Every structure is written in C-alpha cells, then in structure tokens.
C-alpha cells in the first residue's frame, strides 16, 4: 500500500486540489487531502469519490465506431488503427473539400493541467491542422469576461485576491457565490469558516438557502434570480442619498460616477433606483436593503466576493460592472481584506511551462453559446463558415450547452463527429468515433489552480485501463497521419514535456515538488490591483482614462449599450412565470460523475419548489411533475422546500438527458429549458432566471405534453 501525490484536474471551483491517492494491489482504494498543503488548501468530495469513476463498469475501454443512427448508442468496438485512420481520413476530406473552417473545434476544460488540458491539446492540434472554426467566450464567466476589460482594462486579469486575505475582512459579501459547494478556490471554504469563527459578518445573496447560507451565513438576502443588478443599484441609492460613499476615493480611482449617481437618484430621466423600487423587483424588503447598505458602508474593510451565477442571466454584463462600482464607492477596492469586486481567481499562478498553442489567423469564430446555430444555419444565417465536422474534447457539450433539442439537431446535420471519452455521454452517443481516454490516475501532469498561488504534481499512478490512451498521445498519432506529427510533438513524449515544463518553471526544488506534490509560492496573500489602489497616478490602468471606468464611452461606442451600468429588465412570458435556476451539484463536476449510481444515491435528483407555488398547482411533495417552456419539456419529481424563494424553482445541472418516445426528457437535464440566445452584447450563456411552468401530471400513462399548445396555462 502506498500514498501518492494526486490532483483530479476537474473543471470545478477547486480544479487543482492537493490530494493523496492510496494504491493497493494496483487499484485506487482511497483519496484524501495532502497534508503537505497545510491546513487551508483542501479538496472536496468530488475528488475523494474519483475511485468510483475509475472502477465503473461502464467505462469505455476500446475505440468505438458508430453503427446505428446518431444518438442511438449503437457502436462496435474497433482497433486503434481503424479508428485513427477513419478519423484522419474524414478530417482531411472535410478540409480538402470545404477548408479547415468546416471543422468546429469544441475543446473545453474537462481536464485541466499543464500538459493534458483538453482545450490546449485540441487547440494545438487544430491550429497545426490549418485552423478551424473556433469558439469565443465560455460557459463559466462569459459575460464577466466580456465586460471587465472595458471597466478595468487589461488589468482585469490580475484583479482577484488570494483567499488568505479573507482573514482581514470585517464583512464578506458572497453575492451569488455558494462557495462551500462551488468553492471558487481550494482554500476558500476553510478561510470562510475561519472568518465566521472570528466574528466577521458573512452576507450571502442568493435565491436559494444553499449550503453556504445554512453553514456560514450570518445574513441571508434571498434575491430573485436575474435581479441582482436592481438590488445593487438600490444599495448605491442608499450610499449616495445618505452620503455614505468615499467620494475622494471615487474621484481618484474612477471616472463616470457622476453619471451613475444621476441615474441612480433619478436625475437622468428615469425613475430613481430606490430600495422601494428594487424591493418589488428583487424580492428583498425595502428596510432590509437599507439596513444592508448601511452595514456595508460601515464595515471596514468589506470584501465583495461575486459568484459566477450573477452573470449567467439576462443582461449578465451589468452585475459585474456594479460589484466593482460598489467596492469603489465604499473605498474597499484593491485593499487588503477588501476586493476589486472582480472575479476572485484573477491572479497569476506560479510560473511553469504549459503546452503551447501556436497562433494562427484569421480563423472563423462563433460565440460558444451559439455553436448549434452556427452548425444549423452556416453562412446563410450570417455565420463565418459552413460547419461539417466537430472535434470534441473535454466536453459533454450536447448536454451542457443551452437548448439540448437544438444541439441534437445540430449533430444530426454534421457529416462527422469525433470525441475522446471515459463514458458514453449524450455527446459521445452522437459522435461517429469515440476514442477511450485515460483518467486522472492514469497520466502524469502538473496542476495549475484557477485560484491560488501554488502548483501541484502527480505522477502516473496506475497504468491505463483497457486500451485507453491519453488525449495527447491520440492527437500525436492523428497528427502523424495528417502529416504534422513532428510539429505537434516537437519530438517530446508526454513525460518529456513535463520534464521540460518543470525545468523552465520557478519551482526551486523539482525533487521536493515531485515527492510532496506541491509547490507553494512565497506570497500567499496577494491583493489584486493593490498598487493602483494605493497610487493610481503612478500605477494607472490601461483603460482610456487610466482609471476604473464606471462609465465607459468605448463600451457605448462599440456595443450601443449605455456607458454606465443600468437596470435592464428581463423579458417576461406569462406562460412561464416561475424562474428556474440550475446550481452545481456538490457530488458531480458538471455532468462528470452523474452516471455513477453510488453518487446519484447520495442526493435524489429533483426539482426544488416552494410549498406556496406547489399548492397553487396542486403538486404534493415527491410527485412527478411536468416542467416546460419554449425550449423543451421534462418529467421530474418535485421536492417541496422553503430553501428556495417563492416564484423560483431549482434543478441542479449536470444530469444526462434521456428522451422518451415523445421527446420529453426523463433524465432531469436542466438545459432542456435554456436557450442559445445568450446575453447582449456579450453573447454569454443564460442559465439562471429562465422562465418555466410546472404542472402536476394527472394521466397515469404519462406523458407530459411537449407541444406547448397542449399545455393549459
């Protein structure tokens, strides 16, 4: 029996957590925290449960070639030579007939690492292939990533904070951040618990009484999904009207507050964004908004810690403009124990090599949210290319992208689709070739966290199962068959790349790094944009003004949207009055692991609904119900709880879609109800605040009508 340094590399809020894997008789029997990381940086149940995935009986262990209709799950085993030859031939054929832009590169973050990052491996392969149609933006922080450069300039990429600085905060405002489950850094849950213990006020703004609300909050503000911007504007109204702002700090560090103040106070032709106005929109009582605004202004320092959920809504660009405005207005921007109001993980990891992706331009592109539209409509629909093939790596994107029914239609139109997978996911079922890929235990890599100033190492702990190969080795072989193998590998095996990365890193003791599995950089308490906050004259931003642009003329000029953040009410459809949110499950990483029976048994998958809403619809606890909107229909059991606010229903994302004969999902996939429209102007995903209706199922045979005309609303 031996314990070996390990990290899972999954695309969750921790991503690179320091772990130890126990190996007995060639099998992984246990995963625990690595004590070499200290008392704060720890893993979670997703990593601890990975042995269940490793030993799952339904793992794909041989290449597969489709024999039945797309989506049928009908495949035959094939040898590596046949599967590789078929894939190389199809890719070369599409390129020769329609150009490289006819291939959609669908690389995502299913695996994170210096070498085996799925988006980098595929990006390198496709650029050497001659290019492809690439995707812009991402599902995680698409709206924030779009707007933050206008507000903070290039420096938005260094605008975060290390979790250790939470120990200086007098108030921590978790705005849409369920950090005890989504984490947003392997150190964050432990630092939050410490802050609560020493008496810091922990405010959680969330439409759901999440685990973070239950276990850490001292104050819960149940704000309706998609209305956070209204609540933020009301807080600013109190700060302005009661002279609670730090006007000197505002003047020194930003431009545009005068315009925002006029808008908030109702002096620019629109109604004031008062607490009374906001209460009717966001559901937080007027007096509670006032009390919170005053407490926020009094707390020094106050850390506003925004989650990703608040920008996955209609007009999702606005909340992150306002979180920054709030931190500027209260003088907490860039100060220890405070924050910029930006994404907490926006700080660099220690220097280490990564698999390079050679640049190539120009390439056609499409926003990630609209990939199925690009496939279905092509050039005639205004897109830059006619897509005939998809190479998918690190993503179950048929299931995880908006509008699953449209995604299926897009796959039906393709000439060819290939993926690398561990399991037969909904996306894999629609592919023509599936290559069996290795798990985290079966390949060596270096872990680079989303948040934190450290690096991790893991060796190959066990040999690959069956005929599985790493993504890097598969792409290298394909590149050889397409004529650019030497350019892809640069003569390096996977092990040689790791050796190269470590040799060109800041790691002072490579031997100790390999033995302990972790390198902790000297500064573990960094404050993003601290130099600018301390002296904006000497350390200006790269914005046109050199300061934080609360009003951005370039944003207005380039997008046609207001220069200042404003309230943009989401569209209403009276047929679908309930607001659906799709939070992350603490048991799965998106859709990874949701097929494992032992994990599914830990928490029954159900639609959480307030008893008041259920009573109006005649739905009892545990009953099956029909959930529907214009995108699709699903059947799912209902769990009645006061942990969601009235008017809100909650369905955790990640469950695999499973359509019955009438096209109704019985698997509980949240993206049956989301769309591909995206936010404006950022074209980022809208996964929360989605309008749905829920009806009791009264016919024993069942079927929920998916034809909207048959639903009596």
Q: For the chain of 713 residues, list the mean pLDDT of each consecutive stretch of 10.
A: 90 86 94 97 94 95 98 97 98 98 91 93 97 95 98 98 98 98 95 98 98 98 98 99 98 98 96 98 98 98 98 98 98 98 97 95 94 98 97 96 98 98 98 97 96 97 97 98 98 98 97 98 98 98 98 98 97 97 93 92 93 98 97 98 98 97 96 97 97 86 44 34
Asked whether the beta carbons of 430 and 408 are under 8 A apart, the reply is yes
CA angle 374, 376, 381 (to 5 degrees): 60
Distance, in Å, from the CA atom of 38 to the CA atom of 47, rounded to the nearest integer, reads 18
Q: What's the pLDDT score for residue 110?
A: 77
CA distance readout (Å), 232 to 215, 502, 577? 24, 45, 24
Q: What is the pLDDT of residue 603?
A: 83
* 635, 666 contact by CB (below 8 A): yes
> Which pLDDT does position 711 carry in this prediction?
37
How far is Cα 49 from Cα 597, in angstroms, rounded to an integer?
Answer: 12
Short-list 146, 151, 141, CA closest to 532: 151
User: What pLDDT score does 710 carry?
Assistant: 39
pLDDT attached to residue 15: 72
pLDDT at 699: 56
Phi and psi torsions of 233, nearest 5°: -65, -35
Contact 543, 563 (CB under 8 A): no
What is the pLDDT, as a whole number, of residue 377? 98
Q: What's the pLDDT score for residue 713?
A: 31
Pair of tokens at residue 512: 């100790």
Helices (H), 254-306: 257-264, 275-282, 286-298
Tokens of 535: 């002296």
pLDDT at position 271: 97
Provide the pLDDT for residue 2.
85
pTM for the model: 0.96
List the beta strands (DSSP E) in 124-170.
134-136
């Amino acid at each position: 029996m031996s314990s070996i340094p390990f990290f899972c590399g999954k695309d969750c809020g921790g991503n690179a957590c320091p772990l130890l894997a126990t190996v007995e008789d060639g099998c992984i029997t246990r995963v625990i925290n690595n004590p070499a990381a200290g008392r704060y940086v720890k893993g979670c149940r997703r990593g601890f449960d990975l042995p269940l995935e490793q030993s799952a009986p339904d793992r794909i262990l041989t290449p597969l070639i489709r024999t039945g209709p797309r989506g049928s799950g009908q495949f035959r085993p094939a040898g590596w030579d046949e599967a590789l030859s078929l894939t190389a031939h199809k890719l070369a054929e599409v390129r020769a007939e329609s150009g490289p832009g006819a291939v959609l590169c669908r690389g995502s973050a299913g695996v994170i690492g210096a070498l085996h990052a799925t988006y980098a491996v595929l990006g390198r392969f496709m650029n050497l292939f001659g290019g492809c149609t690439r995707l812009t933006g991402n599902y995680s922080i698409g709206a924030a990533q779009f707007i933050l450069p206008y507000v903070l300039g290039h420096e938005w990429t260094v605008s975060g904070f290390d979790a250790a600085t939470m120990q200086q905060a007098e108030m921590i405002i978790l705005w849409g951040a369920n950090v005890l489950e989504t984490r947003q850094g392997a150190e964050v849950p432990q630092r939050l618990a410490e802050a609560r213990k020493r008496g810091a006020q922990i405010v959680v703004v969330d439409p759901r009484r999440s685990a973070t609300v239950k276990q850490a909050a001292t104050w819960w503000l149940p704000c309706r999904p998609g209305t956070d911007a209204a609540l933020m504007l009301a807080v600013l109204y109190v700060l302005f009207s009661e002279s609670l702002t730090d006007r000197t700090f505002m003047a020194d560090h930003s431009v545009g507050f005068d315009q925002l103040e006029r808008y908030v106070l109702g002096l620019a032709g629109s109604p004031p964004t008062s607490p009374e106005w906001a209460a009717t929109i966001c559901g937080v009582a007027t007096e509670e908004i006032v009390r919170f605004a005053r407490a926020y202004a009094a707390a020094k320092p106050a850390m506003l810690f925004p989650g990703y959920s608040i920008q996955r809504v209609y007009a999702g660009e606005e909340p992150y403009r306002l979180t920054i405005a709030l931190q500027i207005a209260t003088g907490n921007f860039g100060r220890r124990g405070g924050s910029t109001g930006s994404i907490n993980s926006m700080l660099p990891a220690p220097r280490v090599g990564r698999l390079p992706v050679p640049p190539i331009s120009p390439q056609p592109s499409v926003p990630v949210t609209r990939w199925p539209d690009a496939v279905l409509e092509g050039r005639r629909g205004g897109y830059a290319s006619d897509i005939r093939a998809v190479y998918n790596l690190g993503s179950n994107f048929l299931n995880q992208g908006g509008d699953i029914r449209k995604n299926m239609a897009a796959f039906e139109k393709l000439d060819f689709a290939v993926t690398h997978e561990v399991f037969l996911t909904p996306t894999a079922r629609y592919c023509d070739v599936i290559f069996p890929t290795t798990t985290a235990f079966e390949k060596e890599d270096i872990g680079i966290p989303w948040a934190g100033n450290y690096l991790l190492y893991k060796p190959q702990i066990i040999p690959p199962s069956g005929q599985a190969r790493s993504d890097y080795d598969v792409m290298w072989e394909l590149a050889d068959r397409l004529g650019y193998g030497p350019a892809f590998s640069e003569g390096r095996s996977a092990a040689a790349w790791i050796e190269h990365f470590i040799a060109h890193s800041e790691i002072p003791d490579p031997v100790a790094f390999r033995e302990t599995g972790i390198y902790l950089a000297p500064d573990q308490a960094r404050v993003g944009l601290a130099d600018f906050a301390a002296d904006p004259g000497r350390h200006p931003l790269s914005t046109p003004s050199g300061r934080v642009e609360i009003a951005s003329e370039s944003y207005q000029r380039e997008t046609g949207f207001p220069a200042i953040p404003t309230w943009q009410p989401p569209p209403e459809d009276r047929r679908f009055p309930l607001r659906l949110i799709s939070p992350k499950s603490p048991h799965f990483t998106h859709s990874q692991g949701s097929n494992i029976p032992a994990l599914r048994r830990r928490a029954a998958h159900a639609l959480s609904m307030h008893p008041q809403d259920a009573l109006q619809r005649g739905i009892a606890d545990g009953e099956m119900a029909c959930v529907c909107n214009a995108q699709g229909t699903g059947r799912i059991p209902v769990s009645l709880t006061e942990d969601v606010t009235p008017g809100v229903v909650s369905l955790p994302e990640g469950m695999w879609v499973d359509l019955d004969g009438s096209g109704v999902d019985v698997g509980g996939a949240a993206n049956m109800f989301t769309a591909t429209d995206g936010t404006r102007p950022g074209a980022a995903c809208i996964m929360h605040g989605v309008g749905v209706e829920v009806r009791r199922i009264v016919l024993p045979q069942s079927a929920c009508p998916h034809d909207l005309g048959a639903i009596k609303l």
